[in-house]
Amino acid sequence: MATKVLVPRLGEGVDEVTITKWLKKEGDSVKELEPLLEVNTDKVDTEIPAPASGVILKIEMQEGQPAKVGQLLALIGAAGESASVSSAPGPSAPAASASAAKAELTPTAAPVTRASSADLGFISPVVAKIATERGIDLSQVPGTGLNGRITKNDVLNFVQTPPAKEAYHATRTVQHATPVVTPAQGDTLIKHTLIRKQIADHMVMSKSVSPHVLTVMEADMSKVSKHRAANKPIFERDGVNLTFTAYFMMAIVAGLKAFPTVNASWTDDGLLVHKAINIGMATSLGEDGLIVPVIKGADALSLLGMARTVNDLATRARSRKLQPDEVKGGTFTLTNHGISGSLFAMPIINQPQCGILGIGAMQKRAVVVDDAIAIRPMVYMSFVFDHRILDGASADWFLAKVKETLENWA
């Protein structure tokens, strides 16, 4: 009997993946645990191995399609065997995955299949049912789920808050008003990668959700630079590259501990202040975009531990070896746009966080110190915050604490 290949649970909170590449095609032979396909979740690519040896009888999900945990991907069996779903017992799986697979294969899921091929992306049976019963046009509802997916709460909020409903309509109108550009002779069309689409969707969603406000301060990095120069050889003996990023992370921790409301998320019921301090670190992937691995429990790390973690996550991010859990759960984000020479910028908040701190290029500049002109290594720090959560004063208090920590490093 044929064996089912189901979407495994790749980490806590990972309920849906996108099929990025099949490594085998129908009719190909495959060995147990041999890589069968690649899936993507939150910009992390993961290989799914074959659960059994045999021949690929049927591929149920195509590249580019979203698939939920437990959903049927393919069937593996003996050559010439019938590719019948009903005859495939499949490997043992957690109850949640099994029930999810059952839900996807029942006739009630038919509307979901039709919706998943539209611009809306994947629509669950619950969302589809609510929309049908209440006559809701889902194209007018902004999604806050994975990759912009519309959730049950998104639909219910749309129904219950008329003012927000009008805002949603206006937002969708603006988003769909992008001019159509037809390539002319000599133009080159570069197809969007999955990561680029995910970045675009998340950035547009963030700007439509949070009122972004920017405040900028500059910090004198003299003491940090001296400390780094003195300790870099010591850290290298432990196999750790002491970068300035580690110092910025430590300063952010100090700011978040002093002003916990910055380490929070907006909800309709109130401000959700997070106990854990998990700092995302925006990491460039070159032309492929960027990814934000998360330093979990950043407040428990020493400078050595922070530098080691920064090194590890940055290296594995660029080599595409992060795990799905390692890009989730962030409560604040740091982006070092100064690497490319930028002095200051206005980053976009990584939802559902309160803010993001951008660090510009460090430059030696003439500054006034004790009524005298001095040359100091200076950086601009651009803090973009959600004005629903913070006001100008509270945002500046946080940024001033980050500045103080850097300038008084001992």
- Residue by residue, DSSP assigns 89-144 as ------HHHHHHHHHHHSGGGHHHHHHHTSTT----HHHHHHHHHHT--GGGS---
Residues pairing with 55 in the sheet: 29, 77
Q: Which residue in the list 28, 192, 238, 387 is annotated as catalytic? A: 387
More confident residue, 85 or 183: 183
Between residues 242 and 106, which one has the greater pLDDT?
242
Confidence of residue 257 (pLDDT cuts 50, 70, 90): very high
Over residues 234-257, mean pLDDT: 97
Q: Which helix (H) or strand (E) holds 56?
A: strand 54-59
Query: What pLDDT shows up at residue 351?
Result: 93
* Residue 110, pLDDT score: 29
pLDDT over threshold 50, residue 135: yes
DSSP letter for each residue of 299-323: GG--HHHHHHHHHHHHHHHHTT---
**pLDDT given for residue 115 in this prediction:** 35
DSSP string, 178-228: PPP----TT----PPPHHHHHHHHHHHHHHHHS-EEEEEEEEE-HHHHHHH
pLDDT for 30: 93
Q: Name the catalytic one among 42, 220, 391, 396.
A: 391
Q: Report which of residues 164 and 5 the model is more confident about.
A: 5
pLDDT at 151 over 70: yes
Determine how many CB atoms are found less than 10 A away from the CB of residue 286. Answer: 7
CA-to-CA separations, 99 to 15, 37, 195, in angstroms, rounded: 13, 23, 30
Question: Rounded to an integer, what distance in angstroms lies between the CA atom of residue 212 and that of residue 200?
Answer: 17
Helix axes 222-237, 392-407, angle to 10 degrees: 60
Element (H, E) at 376: strand 372-386
Query: At 172, is the pLDDT very low, low, confident or very high (cuts 50, 70, 90)?
Result: very low
Q: How confident is the model at residue 10 (pLDDT cuts 50, 70, 90)?
A: confident
Return the minimum-mean-pLDDT range out of 161-175, 178-192, 362-376.
Answer: 161-175
Model confidence at 146, pLDDT cuts 50, 70, 90, reads: low
Of the listed ranges 121-130, 204-213, 253-262, the one predicted with least confidence: 121-130
Active site residue 337: no
The model's confidence at residue 403, banded by pLDDT at 50, 70 and 90, is very high
**Mean of the per-residue pLDDT values for the chain?**
84
If DSSP codes are grouped into helix, strand and coil, which group holds residue 49? strand
* Predicted confidence (pLDDT) per residue in 261-314, tens digit: 999 999 989 999 999 999 999 998 887 788 999 999 999 999 999 999 999 999
- Tell me if residue 391 is catalytic: yes
How open is the CA angle 91-94-100, to the nearest 5 degrees? 90
Which pLDDT does position 348 carry in this prediction? 95
Interatomic CA distance for residues 349 and 362, integer angstroms? 23
> Strands 279-281, 332-335: parallel, antiparallel or unpaired by DSSP?
parallel
Higher pLDDT, 195 or 148: 195
Query: Residue 162 is inside which H or E element, if any?
Result: helix 162-175
pLDDT at 113: 31
Average pLDDT over every residue of 383-397: 97
Residue 155 buriedness (CB in 10 A; 0-12 / 13-18 / 19+): buried
CA dist., res. 136 & res. 354, Å (int): 30
Over the stretch 25-44, which tens digit does the pLDDT of each residue have? 999 999 998 999 999 887 78
Per DSSP, what are the bridge partners of residue 38?
Answer: 21, 47
183-197 burial code (b ≥16 CB/10 A, e <16): eeeeeeeeeeebbee
Q: What percent of the chain has pLDDT over 90?
A: 56
- What's the rounded Cα separation, in Å, for the pair 42 and 322? 11
CA distances to 142, 260, 304 from 209, rounded to whole Å, are 9, 21, 37
Mean pLDDT in residue range 162-167: 47
pLDDT category of residue 131 using cuts at 50, 70 and 90: confident
Q: What are the CA-CA distances from residue 309 to residues 167, 255, 303 (Å)?
A: 42, 20, 10
End-to-end Cα distance, the chain = 68
Proportion of the chain in helix, strand, coil states, percent, rounded to 5: 40, 25, 40
Compute φ and ψ for 67, nearest 5 degrees.
-145, 135
pLDDT digits (tens, 9 = 90+) for 73-125: 999 999 888 776 644 444 444 434 434 333 333 333 323 333 333 456 667 65
